[in-house]
Amino acid sequence: MSDLQELTRQYRRALHSSPEVGLDLPLTQDSVLRGLDGLPLEISLGTTSSSVTAVLRGGRPGPTVLLRADMDALPVAEQTGLDFASDNGAMHACGHDLHSAMLLGAAQLLSDRRESLAGDVVLAFQPGEEGYDGMAHMLAEGLLDASGSRPVAAYALHVIASLLPSGLVASRPGPLLAAADVLEVTVTGPGGHGSTPHLTRDPVQALAAMVTALQVAATREFDVFDPVVVTVGEMHAGTADNVIPPSASLRATVRSFSAAAQEKLSVVLPRVCRGVALAHDVEVHVDYRTEFPVTVNDATEAEWAMTQAREQIGADRVLVMPNPSTGSEDFSRVLQAVPGAMLFLGATPPDRDPSTAPYNHAPTADFDEAVLEVGARLYAGLAENRLAAAP
């Protein structure tokens, strides 16, 4: 085992055993700072979150490149049985512990090469990616100006616990991940006895009709070549079988792949819910929240990053994705402001079939630690070579 592999493995296991959720990650922040200790970095900490921003000044003049690693966990009770598994009710089920460990390894590699770097590298350790919009906090606190000049490119890696064999890199130019919004609906009406529905206005029936109408809207109001996904994940109503309740509610996640579709959804879906409510003669409150924009890889930067990956790990180990993924990412906010790319890195354990292995976010999700050195070297190579390629 190489020194870099062992170093990143130690970082990963320390982070994995003490996961934290959200924006406030004091233990995680402390672990990251210990990993950066002694390196020639200018470090600043977030004031509205536990973010860590480290600037490495190259020995030669040049532009800035940004590297991002998220570091928060999920509120999932771990069931992997690993020797270093978490027992605090949270879990690094999405691999952010690997991302942070890889960026810490890259920090060491880049620091060792500092004198030859033609510019500066910003290392962004981000909390709150899992639904807390941690990147918005970092941007508001000046992440893109951390080095004194706006980055000419930004890159992020994301490991996958299944689908991709370990060590394979996959990405694509253009849309990579979906925009994500939330739809919340509460229906109210005069409830009553379940045996006499004609004397009431039934919120449950209206809510059920809305679920169907939302699916119809997704397939009939949107271009099949610019698709949307509407999934109702929560429904709440009632306390007894013979009582028509006075209220019923739902929550849905809404995904899209263009700014135009995302904007249209915010108009169409509330309209559909209000129309159904009117037809059922009930009251409705609709809250539609836009959360994350589409993650769009800059075409030039995506191709350049995949070329770098081919040179580092082999042309047969890099795949161009035919379609984007329906997941979402707040790294999309960086890519709205700076040309760059996100790459997926397969981390399916070698003893598991990628087609059936537990996916990210599952309580049994596991990741092949062999990719830690691959990711660290890829992070470092992207930054070093992009600086060297800058005009």
54, 160: one domain: yes
Of 237, 267, 292, the domain-final residue: 292
The amino acid at residue 234 is: E
Pairing of strands 283-292, 243-244: unpaired
Q: What is the pLDDT of residue 1?
A: 75
Asked if residues 273 and 286 have their Cβ atoms less than 8 Å apart, the reply is yes
299, 319: one domain: yes
Q: What is the pLDDT of residue 256?
A: 98
Asked if residues 12 and 98 have their Cβ atoms less than 8 Å apart, the reply is yes
Query: Which H helix or E strand runs over 239?
Result: none
User: What are the C-alpha distances in Å from 213 to residues 164, 206, 216, 277, 389?
Assistant: 36, 10, 5, 11, 52
Of 292, 316, 336, the domain-final residue: 292
278, 307: one domain: no
Identify the burial level of 391 via C-beta atoms within 10 angstroms of its C-beta, where 0-12 means exposed, 13-18 middle and 19 or more buried.
Answer: exposed
Please tell me the distance from the alpha carbon of residue 275 to that of residue 245, in angstroms, as a whole number. Answer: 21
Identify the burial level of 287 via C-beta atoms within 10 angstroms of its C-beta, where 0-12 means exposed, 13-18 middle and 19 or more buried.
Answer: exposed
252, 334: one domain: no
Asked if residues 388 and 153 have their Cβ atoms less than 8 Å apart, the reply is no
287, 304: one domain: no
The residues near 280 (Cβ < 8 Å, ≥ 6 apart) are 189, 201, 202, 205, 206, 209
Q: What is the pLDDT of residue 18?
A: 97
151, 209: one domain: no
- Residue 209 maps to which CATH number? 3.30.70.360
Please tell me the distance from the alpha carbon of residue 80 to that of residue 365, in angstroms, as a whole number. Answer: 7
Of 277, 292, 307, the domain-final residue: 292
Please tell me the distance from the alpha carbon of residue 24 to that of residue 19, in angstroms, as a whole number. Answer: 11
149, 261: one domain: no
Question: Which domain range does residue 287 map to?
Answer: 179-292
Q: What is the pLDDT of residue 391?
A: 74
Nearest CA to 149 out of 40, 69, 62, 39 is that of: 62
Structural domain count, the chain: 2
63, 209: one domain: no
62, 128: one domain: yes
Q: Model confidence over 87-138: pLDDT tens digits?
A: 999 999 999 999 999 999 999 999 999 999 999 999 999 999 999 999 999 9
57, 153: one domain: yes
Q: Report residues of the chain scoring pLDDT below 70.
A: none
369, 259: one domain: no
Please tell me the distance from the alpha carbon of residue 44 to that of residue 41, in angstroms, as a whole number. Answer: 10
Nearest CA to 157 out of 239, 68, 232 is that of: 68
299, 286: one domain: no
Q: What is the pLDDT of residue 107?
A: 98
Angle at 213 between CA 244 and CA 227, to 5 degrees: 145
**Is the pTM above the cut of 0.75?**
yes
The residues near 189 (Cβ < 8 Å, ≥ 6 apart) are 200, 201, 202, 203, 206, 246, 247, 280, 281, 282, 283
